[in-house]
Chains A and B, each alone.
Chain A
């Protein structure tokens, strides 16, 4: 399966198992979603479980919170992460705090799916990576898969999770892994091991990172599309890096991260999102707090620049192989 098919399969499995799982969002019903992630679901489960929504993110999230309070497990889709902002009050003030403020009387087991990230010439409003806004909110979990197997397992786990989960799908790798070499043809997922996806139910636990390449020289912390960029650079430069795919940003698997940096003594963090106050800052702070005595070089952050996401200058903005390669050289210098 490619990533879209895996995500579609996850919703199918979750809906089959639990009649409380509802899918809603702009264009997700009859049409099956602008990225085809919900294709066929309405036909299979009916219009009262999979339905199109008005173009109103505040309403989509707000209604989902109410459905969750009723006892359902809504899986609302926000068409692009860039458009999640009108729903922010409902996410931050309501979904995230409902369990806490009602001392468990009401809960909000919703999973907000949303395509995110750049590398597709999406310009300013089809490329953003707003994960750092959500990891800053107490009460939300933030999950970002990097391959079809994880996407399905993590999405099922998110839907089954008793708390609200923000599930960001790197749309650049919906159809195949992308190593940042925009001038080369992209491989389809079918040539990648992680495209082996079981048909039925399985989960990938939230809060657990994956070491996708073991190494001794430096730890690279990444998620989403950047996992593939990191793997590509490491292979090209012959650096014995340990590449970690965080998979869940919150709760963070700091144990796996710290164990790796304890071993390597060096750490490079890579994400597409803008740098200042981005999630990389949190990662850097935590690694510094826990691994201060073993660090042999300053922690490097390779991120999007602190600008809105540009259209024509995409490849100068995107933290691709050149930028990550230079950072690795810097951190390996001594």
Chain B
């Protein structure tokens, strides 16, 4: 073919990315070289993005290998706040463990854990104001937990039971909690990104002081909405923080399929003229510090920030997924940035503010707390067994503010059919 025109051209080849390790492969992350904790400079919050072009290609880290908080990004948090972050991460993990088991026990249809990524949500929410608006993806349950939202309420949503404020309409984990500044989760990926920008634009247009914050996974950065959000955020200098949680995997596709082989996800921000940080997502203090920096930037009308949280999705994508079918089980164990809970624990121990005994005691306390919440939630029903707890007519409500005639008619038709069929 190539020679058909007598031009002796070389055949083109198509590059299809391939992850380094597949099931059964020995894993070595030796080629992943990270900057030392404390080695990245911290620009002023109003710095011009053009002066920070190195930041998307490095990794901001606060906790060093001994668990000491070092460098200009060290947020120097009072120890009580560090403990609060530790507690939030531990509670998130305890919650995940219980709800995962509940799914395996058939009490609900579906669940998604955030194991290994607890710092991403808890570190961030600790740095935000309570009334800043979060536009999360489905793996930021830590935001609700970090804002002390009742676990029972979250569980009721997962069970679609009588206590579910969403009336059994939404798939488990698609929470909505306006009071907690937690926007309704959608199954459609990245749609919340431009919405967060719009919310931030509204806040700015109204002379409000609140900012918006959104999260997508690295896989979803490939969606057109990501581009839309970055463009609008840049054009209108929206007071928004755009987080990319790079956990290396989008279900079975490694980050290379979202363009991660060629550059970093933080670097996407550069092209839009958006300040961009790339941080150690398993370092809760780095997450806090970066979020605090970006929030301050937004609050002072200095513009939006894109933050790539470099982390690892330790467990399956969801309860419907089996990662042993596409990646090496060794990856999670060997991931060089470790575990966020373990790292903060060591930090506190190093400060002389924590020890194994207090950690175990807290662990036991949180496990009991989740268990008690679980029992309370289950009293209101679980999806199996007591399922269908919401009356049938509620299915037709809230499509519109006022139910139009054709929907009323369908509601009546359903009732009539069930009566006629005797069910």
Contacts and interface: CB of A to CB of B under 8 A. Distances in A.
A203 to B, nearest CB: 15
Interface stretch (B64-72, B161-169, B356-364): B161-169
A65 B195 contact: yes
Contacts of B170: 101
B224 interface: yes
Interface string B162-190: 00011101100010111000011011100
Nearest to B204: A48
A102 B406 contact: no
A98 B199 contact: no
A66 B214 CA distance: 11
A86 interface: yes
B20 to A, nearest CB: 33
Contact of A54 (B201, B202, B232): B232
A59 B231 contact: yes
Interface residues of A, number: 47
B398 A89 contact: no
Interface size class of B (residues with CB under 8 A): 35 or more
Interface in B23-55: none
A207 B401 CA distance: 14
A94 B188 CA distance: 8
Contact of A103 (B165, B197, B224): B165
Contacts of A204: none
Contact of A163 (B183, B186, B401): B401
B232 to A, nearest CB: 5
B186 A66 contact: no
A58 interface: yes
A134 B194 CA distance: 21
A90 interface: yes
A102 B231 contact: no
Contacts of A65: 194-195, 198
Interface stretch (A104-112, A209-217, A218-226, A265-273): A104-112
Given A62-B198, A63-B201, A98-B184, A138 B174 contact: no
21 contacts: A48-B205, A54-B232, A63-B194, A63-B195, A63-B198, A66-B198, A66-B202, A67-B198, A90-B191, A90-B225, A93-B188, A94-B188, A100-B399, A101-B166, A101-B174, A102-B176, A106-B178, A107-B401, A163-B401, A207-B404, A251-B406
Interface of B: 133, 135, 165-167, 169-170, 174, 176-178, 183-184, 186-188, 191, 193-206, 212, 224-225, 227-229, 231-232, 235, 398-401, 404-406
